[in-house]
Chain A
Amino acid sequence: MDHLILRVTTKLMFAPIILFGFYVQFHGDFGPGGGFQAGVIFAVAFILHAFCFGLEETKKVLPQKALTVLMVIGFLFYAGTGVVTMLLGANFLAYDALVPNSTHHAGQHYGIILVEWGVGVAVAATMLTIFYHFTGREPDIDQEDW
């Protein structure tokens, strides 16, 4: 088997990278971190996998169809949080409505965690979609075909 060391290392690294992604993700509401950075880290794990095992192998785990769905779900998590606060009678994205009568604005915490989660999922899916399309691109168009 080719590139054995690379492949074994990648297998070892994969889970810690995802774990680190989660760490950055859940750090988002009270420290440096957040959905965007975490989303990129999630995507990096899969991109590393694609580098060492080939795009086709990665697509077996995460096909493009699933990524599209994840993108939509991520976005709807964000916007949906806003809609929920609207349905609870507050303004769009006014998280305090999630936990009314809280003495220390607990709703703000819940709200930002939900929103960051949406951002993380959407960013990871979008990064991978871009990567899939660049690496899985068909050869350049001939001059004749223009």
Chain B
Amino acid sequence: MNLIAQLPVLPIVVPIIAAPITLLLPPGRAPHLWASLFSWLTFAACIALFMQVSANGPISYELGDWAPPIGIEYYVDLANALVLLLVSGIAAVVFPFAYRSVQLEIDERQTPLFYGALLICMTGLLGVTITGDAFNVFVFLEISSLSGYALIAMGARRDRRALTAAFNYLVMGTIGATFFVIGIGLLYQATGTLNMADLAQRLIGQDNRMISAGFAFILVGMGLKLAMFPLHLWLPNAYTYAPSAVTAFMAATATKVAVYVIIRFIFSVFNFDFAFIGAAFTYVLLPLGLAGMFVASLVALFQEDVKRMLAYSSVAQIGYMLLGLSFATVEGLTATLVHVFNHALMKGALFMAVACVVLRAGSHSIHAFAGLSKRMPVTTWAFIISGLSLIGVPLTVGFISKWYLLQAAFEAGHWYAGFLIVASSLIALAYVGRVAEVMLLREPAEEGKYAMPKEEAPLSMLIPMWVLVAANIYFGVRTDLTGGIATRAAEALMAMAGGAP
């Protein structure tokens, strides 16, 4: 076996083979160790793939030796290598982290199913990212979504509302996937091909109703999956009632992958010669991005539940990503890619901190956070540092995101957007500050529902959490890593779409 030649398929094959075997393991420790091991192997494969792409340029892999456009092609360039690295990296941190949290929140007999579903969900997300075939995107999207619904529903052991949340997500997500596949169908009808590169070739010069309807279906379908305001209604409940580890994993990866799909379709399948792309930027992504930034942030401000607050904050952060995208410049696209990466780091860390609190206090209400600095100082500071990153304080990744975004806004001539970015960051300051105030200044509850022992979360949770917190700072200082790669990826995408450099 030639490992280098087979590298592009390994991030899919390794976890998909591991996932069913998880079902046969005895409940308890074994499924967790098995899943963690394979999340690391997948991460290693993704790192190797990233190095290769970064050094030698895009890689194409023909599944079953059927040459594209007939066969399924895996196509890896810098943009999706970065997302692959992100998804597998978050998985490699969250899987080991999950053990204690899952022990508390999920019936032990279900642990093989749980870790199996988690591995399948990761495979689906990696598959969406890696494939160069439009229909294959849909298949992997459904693989990740279906396992995602099951994972969210497993929160029902603690709170039955997880069932309605999962069902809501199932309905909305299925509508999204259906719209997406209708869009693909229209494009297939127009061109007779499903391979993305081939689609791009054959779409040239075909500007008609069918193509624009196809694009509209794809945009709305993906908008549902990525929780674009006002299609985000499934997200707050799903993230609030899902098991803590699932929230940490999905918040950091699922919506990001959907953002990547939109980017891939706009830049690699369609291009700027289509008038509707420009219209989508100006009349859909820009206003909805801005609206999401404010409305969702304001809603987050008034939440009594920290997990729900962070979920609304996620919707707001997706607004930033869409905003950067809507500028239609290399700078804007760079800002979006950087924020996709950085937001995963900060939301992952924040939701992991919440998981630690749930483990000790048994609740994610803001009252459970009262006086947390006296009971769980290590967790408190992890929350505060990643919270600062969410706001965009210098020396954290959040600052880098905002910096790129502001630069892009001013260069694109949308100076008002620049001010709105700063203004919505101030709202983030308010809602993170509110939790920080409760954690640092309030006295902990001595008795009653929220009383808890003075005990830090276990090391198996603290270490992965602090790895992500450290990444928040590391990538906030070493800006050349994410920024440089994102710029190169954005330039390549822009060149494909034929936009102004």
Q: A residues touching B (Cβ–Cβ < 8 Å)?
A: 68-69, 71-72, 75-76, 79-80, 82-83, 86-96, 146
Chain A residue at smallest Cβ distance from B164: A146
- A-B contacts, 22 of them at CB < 8 A, read A68-B24, A72-B23, A72-B24, A76-B17, A79-B16, A79-B17, A80-B17, A83-B13, A83-B17, A86-B1, A86-B6, A86-B9, A86-B13, A91-B5, A91-B6, A91-B64, A91-B65, A92-B6, A92-B63, A94-B65, A96-B65, A146-B160
Is B142 located at the chain interface by the 8 A CB criterion? no
Chain B residues within an 8 Å CB radius of A96: 65
Chain A residues within an 8 Å CB radius of B24: 68-69, 72
Interchain residue pairs A-B with the least CB separation, the first 8: A94-B65, A93-B64, A72-B20, A75-B20, A92-B9, A146-B160, A87-B1, A79-B17
Chain A residues within an 8 Å CB radius of B16: 79
Cα A72 to Cα B31 in complex, Å, equals 15
- Per-residue CB contact flags for chain B residues 409-434 toward chain A (1 = under 8 Å, else 0) read 00000000000000000000000000
Chain A residues within an 8 Å CB radius of B6: 86, 91-92
Q: B residues touching A (Cβ–Cβ < 8 Å)?
A: 1-2, 5-6, 9, 13, 16-17, 20-21, 23-24, 61-65, 160
Given contacts A76-B17, A82-B13, A89-B1, 6 further A-B contacts (CB under 8 A): A71-B20, A91-B9, A91-B65, A92-B9, A93-B63, A94-B65
CB distance from A81 to the nearest CB of B (A): 10
Among A69, A75, A76, A92, contact of B64 (Cβ-Cβ < 8 Å): A92
Chain A residues within an 8 Å CB radius of B20: 71-72, 75-76
Cα A87 to Cα B6 in complex, Å, equals 10
| Cβ contact within 8 Å between A68 and B23 | yes
Chain B residue at smallest Cβ distance from A95: B64
Cα A76 to Cα B17 in complex, Å, equals 7
| Cβ contact within 8 Å between A89 and B2 | yes
| Cβ contact within 8 Å between B23 and A71 | yes
Chain A residues within an 8 Å CB radius of B65: 90-91, 94, 96
Cα A68 to Cα B112 in complex, Å, equals 11
Cα A79 to Cα B119 in complex, Å, equals 15
Cα A71 to Cα B65 in complex, Å, equals 27
Chain B residue at smallest Cβ distance from A91: B65
Cα A146 to Cα B17 in complex, Å, equals 37
Cα A96 to Cα B13 in complex, Å, equals 19
CB distance from A70 to the nearest CB of B (A): 11
Chain A residue at smallest Cβ distance from B112: A68
Cα A91 to Cα B13 in complex, Å, equals 12
Chain A residue at smallest Cβ distance from B5: A91
Chain A residue at smallest Cβ distance from B74: A92
Chain B residue at smallest Cβ distance from A145: B160
Pick the most buried of A72, A79, A82, A91: most chain B CB atoms within 10 A of its CB: A91
CB distance from A109 to the nearest CB of B (A): 14
Chain A residues within an 8 Å CB radius of B160: 146
Chain A residue at smallest Cβ distance from B64: A93
Chain A residue at smallest Cβ distance from B3: A86
Cα A82 to Cα B24 in complex, Å, equals 21
Chain B residue at smallest Cβ distance from A73: B20
Chain A residues within an 8 Å CB radius of B21: 72, 76
Cα A96 to Cα B5 in complex, Å, equals 17
Pick the most buried of B6, B62, B64: most chain A CB atoms within 10 A of its CB: B64
CB distance from B328 to the nearest CB of A (A): 37
Cα A102 to Cα B396 in complex, Å, equals 59
Chain B residues within an 8 Å CB radius of A82: 13
CB distance from A36 to the nearest CB of B (A): 15
Among B17, B23, B62, contact of A91 (Cβ-Cβ < 8 Å): B62
Cα A15 to Cα B1 in complex, Å, equals 43
Chain B residue at smallest Cβ distance from A90: B65
